[in-house]
Amino acid sequence: MDKIEKVLNRLSPKERKRIKEILLQIDKGNFQNLDLKKLKDRDDVFRVRKGNIRIILRKIDGSIKVLSIERRSTTTYK
């Protein structure tokens, strides 16, 4: 089981559904209505915010890789 699956298993069913919808939207390349922001000092790493959940993404040659899914805390972006 990889890191992202472990995080998804710890979330409530409602949060899991919300994250799945966001990931499907990102997979389709539709970034409208998402709270998407480029992270400081990085041109290829972004975060999507939904409530207290953060999805950290990396754009590599047109493809998108999910780096992590975490609850917002003081160590989320480190």
List the chain domain ranges. 3-71
What's the pTM?
A: 0.80
* CATH fold group of domain 3-71: YaeB-like fold (3.30.2310)
Cβ count near 47 (within 10 Å): 18
User: What's the angle, vertex CA 29, arms to CA 42 and CA 49, rounded to 5?
Assistant: 55
In tens, the pLDDT along 3-13 reads 888 888 888 89
pLDDT band for 77, please (50, 70, 90 cuts): low
Instruction: Confirm if 26 and 57 have CB atoms less than 8 A apart.
Output: yes
Residue identified by tokens 């710890």 is 10
In tens, the pLDDT along 23-74 reads 899 888 888 889 999 999 888 999 999 888 899 999 988 888 988 888 876 7
Instruction: Confirm if 56 and 67 have CB atoms less than 8 A apart.
Output: yes
Helix (H) or strand (E) segment spanning residue 59: strand 53-60
